[in-house]
Structure 1
């Protein structure tokens, strides 16, 4: 049977168009009950042997849910105690339309046969289908469809009992009028016998505000008001970013303004949290203010009363609106509406000071950019010992904190495995075990290379190829060779693991790798992008084993000029898997003249030439304080933290990987001008360089930022003999001025936008790490099609599909970087537990109430506060010179200091390193040194100070 709908609409040029839509209806759709005598019996998930356990309904019953119950209460529905649930197709479609993430979670429950969820196609059933009335809103129509299906089930299976769950009071009232048994989710959950504290997981959606409740925040504009305001240009939309150094400040980047819009204070932020898409109203220019240079960490939000926050807001306002500040004022505004929330599950702990037996508690997120969340729990004494997951449900304007609910406990606070789980969850890193479907795509062992494989590939097993990697590396995806050929030329090859041979497009393994996008490296573990059989075995170019590779081979002269480039699928056998240090020792050992040693020396010489050419073109040499943590092999506790040691061979490998990536980019773009996957690094806006230029000026250097070459030359020239680490710190600052390098589809940008600013090359991509980067797999596929080694498929040639894929790759790569840093930070804190150490350090920047300190030995950055809580600082801050002064001691950016490091564990959620000043000596502020070397330095400094004072007298 068909039902016909006719729609009349007017097109852009004024003509009326008639659309006729047919809706197919059937009367043979299975209801899900094997006991039914009417429907044709099929397999079903519903079970008469399983009962829902509700005190409200002391009889076997089946649940029917409305859309909002699924959208709001998915944490409840994922609990095993909820079973025998009928999901109507009307509901399933609406869930998919409104939240793809919830839709995927719901499907996972439906697919689990132990949960007994059944999908009924009510909207194509002849007796359940109802047409939408002309004036009927879509929500009212969907509610009517659901109630119609409930009534049909009641009449169709008279021996069964059905309960309709909805939190919509109007819908419940209409259902009761139609004699449908109904209740709210809260009523149902609270009635479940032995609910195992299921109530804690109820999303708090209904808020009943007393008439005398005082609003703490302005009301948000409605969706219609926001849309009208943006259309008229009175409002602007952008993503809100919370300041990491001041919890009372945030920024919103909007189109049409070079600077991000500053929002300050609770009213200005107006309940926006980091990542929300918000509507902002920009003030008149005379009301703009300057960003503060005050550090206000999240403890202010966590531990102080509202009155203290108000005092800090007033202090901040006075500081930001002073006469001198008007010259540095930035576009300023306030958040007036939320367009789309970026709420996600948050990891953290319960605040420990709640009174015993309290029902409501404050949850402190691990990430300090987010506010505390108010939750209701009946298991607080247990949860206070645990890292837990909480989600936000709402943030009413009368509440200082958003309201949320408990989801699950992760494990004991401070446990290494728990902390790893927190790092992965906080950075949205997919880390579940690979599914059976994914594992079924892997080759069976023993895996052997057949004669057919050899016939399809170039056999390079006769070449002296070797890999050079960090110690302990098991996912070896690149190897090198260099040999002399006719005419005194050199043949240089970069050989990359042929991962794309094992991962075929569209397979479950391919879909999983695309979703994960990258391998994530934590201090004590690795989250692989592909299963270990590939990452550490069949695709790893281990010494002495035959492996499939994708080779990029150049013919060069001895001045590193490329004469010819070719690509081919190959078979290689690495002679040896070497570490950077082993390779360096081989190069330096003059007694070694074997083919591997000669190959490495030639590669090293060529790499130096290639690097010099890059630098002459304006490639930047940047820096970041990267560290390596050595772990105890048995306890897995950190036993040392050290800056990573670099050799010439690090640079050697890097240069040839860069060259292979550039050559591949040129080849794939030539053959696929619209859908090549490339990597661009945008030039930063001039405003990004302000901290770097200001720091250079105070040191007496002019940092030019007109081009990457000017910047490189400026930084090369910024050298002080008495402060050898100063140039490194300048480069660290320069790194923080940079934009993020990103993947993109060539057809989505103009050619002038392809440029990679940091490398100073017009074209770049990633080809050299397919074991740990999905982008490289796509590039391999394009290259394979280009040389006739493989066939294409539709998605590979669709620039829009490639662009969508790039968005996920860019996001996952960024999260992987942050997860790695968070893991290092946690293990560094573990290393410092119970220790006091004096370390030589440098001032990275001078702030109004603190110094940002960099400790090179540990690659650590931390804050040295210059005043104690409630006390006025003895130092005088000079904003123009960016200095802090007390008597004869003046602190400038990049000055050397000695600080004492200690771990403050009072806040168990956010343990942090606390710094105290040892040198230079400031009376009443500095502390005595611990070791003899530092004591001598302090004594020498004190003698110099006394001598200066004597001369003045």
Structure 2
């Protein structure tokens, strides 16, 4: 080995420059990874082709989205230089991490040219990254003289001549007259932001009008500042970009626009009224693009440019402008959903320019549209990596003897799970037994997922990226592999299972908790019940142990629920529907989801466990605990709702959660839907509950408004929520079962994970809502037009928003006429449509401009 002394300038956290000196050892016995090589004889030799492709550093940046979605550059013919990744890590850590996982998962060869005598390029060589590739080419040409070696730089289009893969490559369109002002440089923008002449923020586009946007500014201001950006002042910014803006007029107002990140595959017409901030600004620099893969369909124009047809890509997301594509084979893309990446947006173009990433599928297929829903909401749908799968035990795994000795043996307890019908990933189970002193022993038993998912393992890291299981109507996308979610962890009946248990001794008359115990356990569930089956058992009141356990649980749950309401907990409402699916898993019929008292029973004990665990982990780890807080509601929106209700002679007070809860209980009407509708509207005035690390907020800010709980966390669903996995580790350490992983004592890491969990959780909710809209569309596509009763939920400037309570569908109806002066009715000819009045509407569907739409039309007032 030959040592090389390397000195690299680095910057400290304080901004000081220093030289980092290290010794790099060069060797000549490193393998080439080609199976035809008789000299290296490496056990890992994925290269098999007679032609080897080496991607230059620049081509890695340009073609990575192409690389992810093709089979031309395969492990059998492509090698990556280590030097490119060293350079990539310095420039773009996020892309480096993504590329590293991709290459490891696909098992491409990475040649260690940084450590080979014949391929090493001195550290201070100008244009080192690209020179290193040419040196590596020379090495392979000499080492394997019968192999053709090709460096891919900007010549991939020539290599792929005549192939449909050409449409996946970024394109450049020649210049024309400028339509937008040039962006200033990043360095110039940074200086002006520091001086206070410009402001940095995130660019958000209005869903209803792509020509209007606002920028939320958090840096350099005392409190969040929002400014409006309209028309050409957007200067080629895309929704989600980080931009630098210049203030050009207006004055500050207090009302803030709320962000809505959902993307609907099906348009229902439901609208919200948003007023832009009065401060006006223009974008002068795009600091960081949020270029991602957008889903949609193409519209052919017939115009030809450089032998390619100019096509316009219409994104599903209404916030994204049409994107210009150059297609060599446009006929292959007709009637398809495709994903597209924006390559650039030059100043001379009305539209951004992009290239196709891949064809998702036919526009009429359910599988295609469901994948679009997942992709548009950033749900990770790729298979689990082999490294993650290697962490799993065999399917026939059994509980080791040493594990049995260290756990509470609760096999004799009458444990049962109560879940929706058909549930396979069973997180939780319950038991209630009568103690000798007349008190109840109640246990909540949660799947011990952390026994199988070890901290910082490949499986754990992948779960931390996915964060949550996403449930679409016809399928789910798991956070963890199926062998855990459905086999080893799921608390199915008649099987021994590892659990994490919370056990209380409770006074049966008052539900007062006498003591609480936490422990790792082994349970043997007696039954996996649906909510209806459990309710039927309770109603039948048989003397068997299971029925009596459920009866006792029901009794205590009612006492607990009343205590929460007395303390100010809210009972809100939402529209949850159940679909009947046909043989192809498409929506065939739809109805409101039926709930039973057992739904509430299970919920109460899950809440009780989450509160108990939250208190325990905060007491032990006040700085590192993962908790869930629910901030106070959006008071301006509650005020608007209260004003409308007052005009209808209903009182809605909301200074405290107790007052709001009491007001909702006193809104009574002969219309039994009214209270439910109002509760739904109050729900939409709430802020999102979020995960946080306890060091981020003062203790008083831990409060969960909706539950009226001072401390709350998520412990009861570790199969489908990563937050619960973290909480299980905290609780294990709190009771001295295991030590707390070092990464969980790093507040910055935990805060970053909490932000990711909040984002994934929000996207999951949007995806599930959009999936329900898609299947509603399919129901009426099969059924044909239908007449249904609807309730007016809002009066708009162009008509009314309505909800059809029978199926939970919401949408807008455009009407002739005008809104009344008091804002609570619509005046149309001689008719007056009052807020919360009932209408007869017609439901129709249409498919135009690549969009599936559910249309509502007024037939008559009721």
Normalising by structure 2, what TM-score? 0.89
* SS in structure 1 at match of 2:792: strand
The answer as to 2:671 corresponding to 1:729 is no
Give the drift of 1:912. Answer: 0.9
Cα distance change, pair 122–43 in 1 and its aligned pair in 2 (3 A): farther
Which residue number corresponds to residue 201 of structure 1?
168
Residue 603 (structure 2) aligned to one of 635, 645, 654: 654
* Contact in 1 for aligned 2:227/2:280 (Cα 8 Å): yes
Residue 88 (structure 2) aligned to one of 95, 106, 113: 95
Residue 566 (structure 1) aligned to one of 517, 521, 529: 517
* SS in structure 2 at match of 1:73: helix
Cα distance change, pair 795–639 in 1 and its aligned pair in 2 (3 A): same
Give the drift of 1:727. Answer: 2.5
* SS in structure 2 at match of 1:655: helix
Which residue number corresponds to residue 250 of structure 1?
213
* Structure holding more strand per residue: 2
Cα distance change, pair 277–765 in 1 and its aligned pair in 2 (3 A): same
Which residue number corresponds to residue 362 of structure 1?
312
Which residue number corresponds to residue 919 of structure 1?
860
Deviations 1:440-495 (A, max 9, x none): 43333434345544322222222222221111111111111222223332221111
Deviations 1:609-634 (A, max 9, x none): 222222222222222222111112x3
Which residue number corresponds to residue 270 of structure 2?
none
Deviations 1:302-334 (A, max 9, x none): 9xxxxxxxxxxxxxxxx99xxxx9xx9644433
Task: Report the Cα distance in structure 1 between the residues aligned to 2:719 and 2:786, rounded to whole angstroms.
Answer: 40
Task: Report the Cα distance in structure 1 between the residues aligned to 2:166 and 2:594, rounded to whole angstroms.
Answer: 53
Cα distance change, pair 786–235 in 1 and its aligned pair in 2 (3 A): same
Task: Report the Cα distance in structure 1 between the residues aligned to 2:318 and 2:184, rounded to whole angstroms.
Answer: 27
Which residue number corresponds to residue 220 of structure 1?
183
Give the drift of 1:141. Answer: 5.6
Task: Report the Cα distance in structure 1 between the residues aligned to 2:824 and 2:246, rounded to whole angstroms.
Answer: 32
Q: How does 1:396-545 map to 2 (within 5 A)?
A: 396-449=346-399, 451-545=401-495
Task: Report the Cα distance in structure 2 between the residues aligned to 1:546 and 1:623, rounded to whole angstroms.
Answer: 37
Task: Report the Cα distance in structure 2 between the residues aligned to 1:37 and 1:481, rounded to whole angstroms.
Answer: 65
Residue 901 (structure 1) aligned to one of 831, 834, 843: 843
* SS in structure 1 at match of 2:421: coil
Task: Report the Cα distance in structure 2 between the residues aligned to 1:462 and 1:9, rounded to whole angstroms.
Answer: 62
Moved more, 373-382 or 506-515: 506-515
Give the drift of 1:392. Answer: 0.9
* SS in structure 1 at match of 2:414: coil
* Contact in 1 for aligned 2:295/2:316 (Cα 8 Å): yes
Cα distance change, pair 106–568 in 1 and its aligned pair in 2 (3 A): closer
Normalising by structure 1, what TM-score? 0.81
Give the drift of 1:27. Answer: 5.3
Task: Report the Cα distance in structure 2 between the residues aligned to 1:666 and 1:37, rounded to whole angstroms.
Answer: 63
* SS in structure 1 at match of 2:192: helix
Which residue number corresponds to residue 282 of structure 2?
334
Task: Report the Cα distance in structure 1 between the residues aligned to 2:398 and 2:152, rounded to whole angstroms.
Answer: 57
Gapped runs of 5+ residues in structure 2?
A: 268-272
Which residue number corresponds to residue 274 of structure 1?
239
Cα distance change, pair 824–682 in 1 and its aligned pair in 2 (3 A): same
Moved more, 856-865 or 81-90: 81-90
Task: Report the Cα distance in structure 2 between the residues aligned to 1:5 and 1:432, rounded to whole angstroms.
Answer: 40
* Contact in 2 for aligned 1:238/1:278 (Cα 8 Å): yes
* Contact in 1 for aligned 2:226/2:277 (Cα 8 Å): no
Q: How does 1:822-841 map to 2 (within 5 A)?
A: 822-833=770-781, 835-841=784-790
Give the drift of 1:278. Answer: 2.0
Task: Report the Cα distance in structure 2 between the residues aligned to 1:263 and 1:483, rounded to whole angstroms.
Answer: 61
Which residue number corresponds to residue 230 of structure 2?
265
Residue 336 (structure 2) aligned to one of 378, 386, 394: 386
Which residue number corresponds to residue 856 of structure 1?
805
Which residue number corresponds to residue 308 of structure 1?
none
Which residue number corresponds to residue 190 of structure 1?
158
* SS in structure 1 at match of 2:26: coil
Deviations 1:329-382 (A, max 9, x none): 644433332221111111211126767997111111222222221111122222
Deviations 1:363-406 (A, max 9, x none): 11222222221111122222112211111111123322211101
Task: Report the Cα distance in structure 2 between the residues aligned to 1:298 and 1:36, rounded to whole angstroms.
Answer: 50
Moved more, 93-102 or 478-487: 93-102
Deviations 1:227-256 (A, max 9, x none): 123212232222222222333322322234
* SS in structure 1 at match of 2:624: coil
Task: Report the Cα distance in structure 1 between the residues aligned to 2:332 and 2:577, rounded to whole angstroms.
Answer: 36
Task: Report the Cα distance in structure 2 between the residues aligned to 1:836 and 1:759, rounded to whole angstroms.
Answer: 41
The answer as to 2:124 corresponding to 1:132 is yes
Cα distance change, pair 190–688 in 1 and its aligned pair in 2 (3 A): farther
Cα distance change, pair 126–880 in 1 and its aligned pair in 2 (3 A): farther
Highest Rg: 1 or 2? Answer: 1
Give the drift of 1:845. Answer: 1.7
Cα distance change, pair 691–399 in 1 and its aligned pair in 2 (3 A): farther
Which residue number corresponds to residue 885 of structure 1?
827
Gapped runs of 5+ residues in structure 1?
A: 53-61, 167-183, 303-318, 867-873, 921-936, 938-953
Give the drift of 1:883. Answer: 3.8
Which residue number corresponds to residue 944 of structure 1?
none
Q: How does 1:643-722 map to 2 (within 5 A)?
A: 643-717=592-666, 719-722=667-670
* SS in structure 1 at match of 2:806: helix
* Contact in 2 for aligned 1:30/1:41 (Cα 8 Å): no
Cα distance change, pair 369–488 in 1 and its aligned pair in 2 (3 A): same
Task: Report the Cα distance in structure 1 between the residues aligned to 2:367 and 2:145, rounded to whole angstroms.
Answer: 52
Which residue number corresponds to residue 726 of structure 2?
778
* Contact in 2 for aligned 1:249/1:262 (Cα 8 Å): no
Residue 80 (structure 1) aligned to one of 65, 68, 71: 71
* Contact in 1 for aligned 2:56/2:84 (Cα 8 Å): yes
* Contact in 1 for aligned 2:300/2:330 (Cα 8 Å): no
Give the drift of 1:884. Answer: 2.7
Give the drift of 1:567. Answer: 1.0
The answer as to 2:24 corresponding to 1:24 is yes
Task: Report the Cα distance in structure 2 between the residues aligned to 1:360 and 1:899, rounded to whole angstroms.
Answer: 42
Q: Could you say which structure has the greater relative contact order, defined with CA pairs below 8 angstroms and 6 or more residues apart?
A: 2
Q: How does 1:98-109 map to 2 (within 5 A)?
A: 98-100=91-93, 102-104=95-97, 106-107=99-100
* SS in structure 1 at match of 2:175: coil
Task: Report the Cα distance in structure 2 between the residues aligned to 1:298 and 1:670, rounded to whole angstroms.
Answer: 41
Task: Report the Cα distance in structure 2 between the residues aligned to 1:541 and 1:228, rounded to whole angstroms.
Answer: 58
* Contact in 2 for aligned 1:251/1:260 (Cα 8 Å): no
Which residue number corresponds to residue 581 of structure 1?
532
Give the drift of 1:766. Answer: 0.9
Task: Report the Cα distance in structure 1 between the residues aligned to 2:40 and 2:808, rounded to whole angstroms.
Answer: 69
Task: Report the Cα distance in structure 2 between the residues aligned to 1:715 and 1:400, rounded to whole angstroms.
Answer: 51
* SS in structure 2 at match of 1:777: helix
Task: Report the Cα distance in structure 2 between the residues aligned to 1:37 and 1:102, rounded to whole angstroms.
Answer: 32
* SS in structure 2 at match of 1:911: strand
Task: Report the Cα distance in structure 2 between the residues aligned to 1:506 and 1:393, rounded to whole angstroms.
Answer: 35
Task: Report the Cα distance in structure 1 between the residues aligned to 2:96 and 2:533, rounded to whole angstroms.
Answer: 52
Task: Report the Cα distance in structure 2 between the residues aligned to 1:639 and 1:804, rounded to whole angstroms.
Answer: 42
Q: How does 1:314-325 map to 2 (within 5 A)?
A: none
Task: Report the Cα distance in structure 2 between the residues aligned to 1:298 and 1:113, rounded to whole angstroms.
Answer: 31
Give the drift of 1:30. Answer: 4.0
